[in-house]
Structure formats: structure tokens, C-alpha cells
Amino acid sequence: MKAVPLSASRILLIISGGIAAYKSLELIRRLRERDATVRVVMTAAAQQFITPLSAATLSGQATRDELFSLTDEATIGHIELSRAADLVVVAPATANILARMAGGLADDMGTTLLLATDKRTLVAPAMNVGMWLHPATQRNVDRLKADGVLFVGPESGPMACGEFGPGRMAEPPEIVAAIEQALAAGTALDDSRGAGLAAPGLEAAGVGPLAGRHVLVTSGPTYEPIDPVRFLGNRSSGRQGHAIVRAAVGAGARVTLVTGPVGLADPPGAEVVHVGSAQEMREAVEAALPADAFIAAAAVADWRVENVASQKIKKGERGFPTLRLVENPDILAEISNKATLRPAVVIGFAAETENVAANAKAKLRRKGCDLIVANSVADGASAFGGDTNQVEIIDANGAESLPPMSKADVADAIVRRLVIELSKRQ
């Protein structure tokens, strides 16, 4: 498959009828800024939320919405349109269009194109949490993944309907990143579709240095509840952990990501488990074993509140509340010291503000893991939430210092090292 850079790509964007349709206008703008060609098709419901004129103005091309058009269909324009794209993107993807796609319906322009296309499809679901979690939607999602459809999001957060939970459409920058990733992996549908391969990463399953391996990764912070509305958290963004997941998927591994609350879309191709507290993270990690490798990139809170209030603690009722903290489970040490089901390679992270290498070496010994990826969070080079990082990869014999680089490059370096460590242990 030939990879297409975003700047030369032709994106067929299908907008379906959800409240997030307004964000697809920003998506068009961002894609056009990157010199992608964007052709827009809107469902009838989408046109209740945004106008074809806005989409046409931003994309610089007329939208195609009518399947039975006397002018456009004189040369079977819909087939032409479906083939003249490098990637088909559905954003927002409603519960309804996911159901129609999963059922193979072709009852309007968008779904007809989706069935006729010879390229991969990336969907960005957006819907109320109840609609997303409904067994019918989840069944459709599983079906589509098995058919090779790629997913970005949805994310968790407050919704337009006032509820909270998973179902928010991924933000336009995340969708652009997923489009780039899909283009880089190659988007032509080939015989692999019939084999039930799901995403660029899964497409690589069976191909690549981690083919046949199960890699378990934790990412993000944990939130330790104080009462139903407050928590103790930390500044981890999850960017480094999520980048490692993408790198491991790209290397052909089956990847399970256990992530704390982050504002990032789920990496395509990985099985993702969302958790809140350290105890929930420990349970999810245990449930995901066995694994060939465990990469503990999450910033797990060291302590939690001993007695979590069942009701919101009111201001000024009994003076200042006193929070008594107790130690959280040490997931990295527990997994490193397992008598059975210990992954062959266990990698921990150390975010230090001083004596980085010395503290990381001590942590390596204390926890019993195989490698520690140490970074300084004291200076600007590796700030929490930033896109760059500077790390040292430390094992019992010494340290490999890497220059400052993007978190994606750090992730690649860690995965390369993982490949070497796994091969040593065969």
C-alpha cells in the first residue's frame, strides 16, 4: 500500500446528523490548512445542524448530498466520488450511521459511498452516553472494527445534553492526527479486509517486530476521590503513554491500554480500558494479564484518601476538613514481583525533579522491574503535557541517554528497546 502524506491527500468527509457537526467545519478548515483536498457529503440530518453552504465554502468545493441527482449521476458520480479519495472520514458519526454502516445499508449518498469505496474508512463517533453504551451501538462498533473500519474517539466528558461520559466526538486536532496515521499506514482496501483486520495497527498484527506479542501499557494520571465531586490528581497528560501504545501497535503488537482520565482520543488499534483510581487501574492491569511486556507509563497516585465521603463535603460545616491519606497499591512493584504471570519485560517510568539517574536506578532495584525510563520534570525539556521529552533508559548495567525529542520518537525508542529485551529473553 502506498502511504499518502496529508498535504497531498484527498479526504472524503461524510458529515452525519449530530450536534457535533459544527466541529466538522473546523476539521475541514484544519485539513485545508494542511493542504488536503476535502470533498464533503452531508446526510439529510446533518443539514439540520450546519448548512451545505458553510461546508462548501470552507472546503472550496460543492457538497454532494443527493444520490438521485440528474446532473451528477449522468456518469455514475457516486462511484467516481468514492474512488477519488485516499481516505473516507465520517465525522461526526451518529449512532444511526454506524448502524447503517454495520448493516451494509446504502440508503443515501453517504452510506452508498461508504459501501462503494475501495479505501479505508475512519469514523469519529459522537452521541449521547446512553446511545454510545447501548448494546446495539457497541455491537455495531465491534462489527465495524472487525470489518476494518478505523475509530478515533469518542472521548469522555460533559455533553451538550448535560450528561457526562463517553460519547463526545474527538477534537478536530485528534481527528487530523488519526487521519495522518491512517494515511501513513496506507488506506487502500485489499484482501486484508476479509481477514477481519481492524486498524492500521491491527493491520500490522502478524507483521512487525512485535507480531504475536501482547503489550500492556498504563497511561495518564489516576484520580483519587475525596467525595463524589472532588479528587486528588496529578499533571500527567497521558501523551507519552498513548504514544507508546501507538508505537507498539505500529510494531505489530496486540496492545491493551489501561488509561486514567486524559483528554486524548483512544489510540486506534489498541484495546482500551478506562479507569479512574489507582485501585481500578490495578484491577484492570491484573485482568489484562498475561502479557509479554508491561509498560507502566501512568502517573499512579502514591496515596489515596482513607475515608472517601459519600456526600459532598460542605464548606464551613465543621471547620477545615482533614484528609488522612493511605498508601495506594504499587502496581509496578506488584507486577514486577509476580510469582506467576510476570511479563517477560517490565518497564517503569520515573519522573524526577532532581538526581534523575541516581533516583531512577534506586527505583529499578526497589521495584524489581527490568528497565526504567527516567525523565526530569524539573526543566522545560520534558514538561508534563508537552509534546517533547528527554529521557534516559536505565537497566541494571547502565543508562542510555537520549537527546530531547518528540514523545512519538521517545515511544519509538522505547519500543525498539523492548524488541531487543524480548529477543534476549526468548
Q: What is the 3-state secondary structure (H, E, C) of the chain?
A: CCCCCHHHCEEEEEECCCCCHHHHHHHHHHHHHCCCEEEEEECCCHHHCCCHHHHHHHHCCCCCCCCCCCCHHHHCHHHHHHHCCCEEEEEEECHHHHHHHHHCCCCCHHHHHHHHCCECEEEEECCCHHHHHCHHHHHHHHHHHHCCCEECCCEEEECCCCCEEEEECCCHHHHHHHHHHHHHHCCECCHHHHHCCCCHHHHCCCCCCCCCCEEEEEECECCEECCCCCEECCCCCCHHHHHHHHHHHHCCCEEEEEECCCCCCCCCCCEEEECCCHHHHHHHHHHHCCCCEEEECCECCCEEECCCCCCCCCCCCCCCCCCCEEECCCHHHHHHCCCCCCCCEEEEEEEECCCHHHHHHHHHHHHCCCEEEEEECCCHHHCCCCCEECEEEEECCEEEECCCEEHHHHHHHHHHHHHHHHHHCC
Grid cell of 341 as nine digits: 504471570
* Dist. CA 77–CA 116, nearest whole Å: 11
Q: Which of 235, 231, 343, 232 is nearest to 296 (CA)?
A: 343
Q: Which spans of this chain sit near ligand FMN (rule: CB under 6 A)?
A: 16-20, 43, 45-46, 94-97, 126-127, 131
Nearest to 281 by CA among 305, 256, 263: 256
Task: Return d(Cα 355, Cα 17) in angstroms, integer.
Answer: 54
Strand partners, 214: 254
CA–CA separation, 254 and 204 (whole Å): 10
Catalytic-role residue among 44, 76, 161, 341: 161
User: Has 369 been annotated as catalytic?
Assistant: no
> How does 185-215 read in b/e, with b if 16+ C-beta sit within 10 Å?
bbbeeeeeeeeebbbbbbbbbeebebeebbb
- Mind telling me the catalytic residues? 161
